């Protein structure tokens, strides 16, 4: 039996042939059974590890692919037919993913170009529904839409705190005040297609509030960069639609109940050595309560954007809360970095409670 000492599973077959022992021979059987038992145990452990790896991969797939799709409850065309005014571009709508040179917080983000058929996508709360709703305007200089960085990722946060998120894919390019590379000039279209889309969207959300389980008196706007300008524009231009009535949704008020412009642009002018508000923004006591956020290191939209709007709101007696930070730059969305400004969603949640939006 010395031949069998320390033998492995493969050796046992050779040992059986060499010695003439059969599987049932009493002296050989315990050794063979022990070898088979160890092999079975190792095989089960290997299969279990493979199963765990497969499960982890499946869960990641569900989170990154199926999860976002499941959260999008309803996509609605903004206009029953073609949007008002001339088509802004003949090019087809397309989505582009940024390269490493434009990563935010170490990750890529997606943007949409050439939007001619704007839509609303309604994301319902994942927990208790508070009845509040926020219409989100992604930024992009009125040329593109940062659709995830300043869109779907915002909806993930809002729905997690019981707020319905309505993501507006508004028309671009050339749909608001912006710098045009082709002519090396600044344009300011009137009526602005982006404002038309925003007015239509807010009226549509309010008209369908019951269907989407929304309190019609708790509908606000939140926008980034150019979308921040759009949030300020609709906060002060809601008495009359900038397009001909389409249906009953255009008879409902399009005044937001609150507004959150984040690192907004196109809000200030510098005239005669003074900080002045963009003359297209007419602030009155009817302008809704507003939350402002901007960084002093914002090299795209100067901090004076928020400052000029804050002063106008304060002078008109509009409830306003402003947070300025030394660092942070521009276009960080909700992605956390080492800059304290990226903790701003917590400030907004506290402000929502201050104005009675959240319990």
Over residues 326-354, the pLDDT tens digits come to 999 999 999 999 999 999 999 999 999 99
Same domain, 212 and 285: yes
Asked if residue 242 and residue 192 are part of one domain, the reply reads yes
Q: Both tokens of residue 142?
A: 């009125």
The candidate with the shortest Cα–Cα distance to 120, out of 215, 244, 5, 206, is: 206
Counting residues of the chain whose pLDDT is more than 90, the rounded percentage is 74
Split at pLDDT 50, 70, 90, the class of 182 is confident
pLDDT for residue 165:
98
Do 54 and 154 lie in a common domain?
no
Q: Do residue 342 and residue 271 come from a single domain? A: yes
Q: Which region among 34-38, 195-199, 309-313, 352-356 has the lowest average model confidence (pLDDT)? A: 34-38
Q: Tell whether 50 and 88 lie within a shared domain.
A: no
Neighbours of 56 (CB within 10 A): 10
- Strand 133-137: give its sheet, edge to edge: 72-77, 119-123, 164-169, 133-137, 219-224, 259-262, 290-295, 320-325
CB 95 within 8 A of CB 151: no
pLDDT at 9 over 70: no
Long-range contacts from 90-98, C-beta under 8 angstroms, 24+ separation? 93/117, 95/147
Does 117 share its domain with 33? no
- When pLDDT is averaged across residues 19-28 and rounded to a whole number, the result is 44
| Token output for 27 | 């002296």
Query: Residues 23, 134: one domain?
Result: no
Tell me the percentage of the chain whose pLDDT exceeds 70. Answer: 79
Q: What residues contact 321, with CB distance under 8 A and at least 6 apart?
A: 290, 291, 292, 351, 354
Please indicate, yes or no, if residue 63 is contained in any of the structural domains: no
- Higher-confidence position of 270 and 240: 240
pLDDT of residue 54 exceeding 80, the answer is: no
Q: What pLDDT is attached to residue 269?
A: 84
- Does residue 160 form part of some domain? yes
Distance CA 189, CA 177 (A): 7
Last residue of a domain, one of 58, 87, 104: 58
> Does residue 109 lie in a domain region?
yes
Residue 20 sits in the same domain as residue 112: no
Task: Please report how many Cα atoms fall inside a 13 Å half-sphere around the Cα of residue 289, on the Cβ side.
Answer: 15
Does residue 247 sit within a domain?
yes
In a domain, 65, yes or no: no
Chain mean pLDDT for the chain: 86
**Domain span including residue 33:** 2-58
Q: What is the mean pLDDT of residues 72-98?
A: 93
For 111-154, the pLDDT digits (tens) are 999 999 999 999 999 989 999 999 999 999 999 999 999 999 99
Residue 48's CB is within 10 A of a number of other CB atoms, namely: 10
Judge whether 128 lies within some domain. yes
In this prediction the pTM is: 0.80
- Closest by alpha carbon to 152, among 258, 69, 62? 69
- For residues 233 and 115, membership in a common domain is answered with yes
| pLDDT > 50? residue 8 | no
Q: What is the model's pLDDT at position 33?
A: 62
Average pLDDT value for residue range 73-99: 94
Asked if 31 and 144 sit in the same domain, the reply is no
Q: Look up the CATH number of the domain holding residue 169.
A: 3.40.50.1820
Torsion of CA 260, 262, 263, 266, to 10 degrees: -40
- Asked if the model's pLDDT at residue 85 lies above 70, the reply is yes
Please indicate, yes or no, whether residues 147 and 25 belong to a single structural domain of this protein: no
User: Are 139 and 15 in a shared domain?
Assistant: no
* 71 domain-assigned: no
Is 66 part of a structural domain of the chain? no
Q: Are 123 and 164 in contact (CB under 8 A)?
A: yes
Number of domains in the chain: 2
* H or E, element range at 307: helix 304-315
Contact 167, 152 (CB under 8 A): yes
Find out whether 54 and 74 touch, Cβ atoms under 8 Å: no
């Amino acid at each position: 039996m010395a031949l069998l000492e320390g033998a492995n599973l493969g050796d046992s077959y050779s040992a059986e042939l060499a010695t003439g022992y059969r599987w049932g021979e009493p002296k050989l059987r315990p050794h063979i059974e022990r070898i088979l038992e160890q092999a079975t145990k190792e095989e089960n452990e290997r299969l279990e590890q493979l199963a765990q790896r497969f499960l982890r991969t499946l869960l990641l797939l569900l989170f990154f692919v199926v999860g976002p799709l499941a959260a999008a409850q309803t996509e609605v065309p903004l206009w029953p037919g073609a949007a008002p005014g001339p088509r802004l571009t003949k090019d087809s709508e397309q989505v582009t993913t940024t390269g490493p040179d434009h990563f935010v917080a170490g990750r890529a983000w997606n943007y949409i170009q050439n939007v001619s058929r704007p839509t609303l996508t309604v994301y319902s709360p994942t927990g208790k529904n508070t009845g509040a709703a926020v219409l989100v305007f992604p930024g992009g200089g009125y040329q593109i839409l940062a659709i995830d960085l300043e869109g779907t990722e915002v909806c993930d946060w809002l729905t997690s705190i019981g707020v319905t998120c309505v993501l507006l894919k508004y028309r671009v390019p050339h749909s608001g005040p912006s710098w045009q590379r082709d002519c090396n000039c600044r344009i300011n279209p009137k009526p602005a297609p982006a404002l038309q889309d925003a007015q239509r969207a807010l009226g549509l959300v309010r008209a369908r509030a019951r269907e989407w389980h929304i309190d019609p008196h708790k509908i606000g706007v939140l926008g980034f960069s150019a979308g921040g300008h759009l949030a300020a524009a609709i906060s002060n231009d809601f008495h009359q639609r900038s397009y001909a009535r389409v249906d009953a949704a255009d008879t409902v008020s399009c005044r937001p109940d609150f507004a959150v412009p984040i690192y907004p642009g196109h809000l200030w002018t510098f005239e005669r050595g003074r900080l002045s508000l963009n003359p297209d923004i007419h602030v009155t006591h009817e302008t809704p309560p507003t939350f402002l956020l901007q960084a002093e290191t914002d090299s795209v939209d100067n901090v004076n954007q928020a400052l000029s709007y804050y002063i106008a709101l304060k002078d008109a007696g509009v409830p306003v809360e402003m947070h300025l930070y030394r660092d942070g730059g521009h276009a960080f969305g909700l992605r956390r970095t080492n800059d304290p400004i990226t903790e701003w969603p917590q400030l907004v949640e506290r402000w929502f409670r201050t104005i009675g939006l959240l319990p």
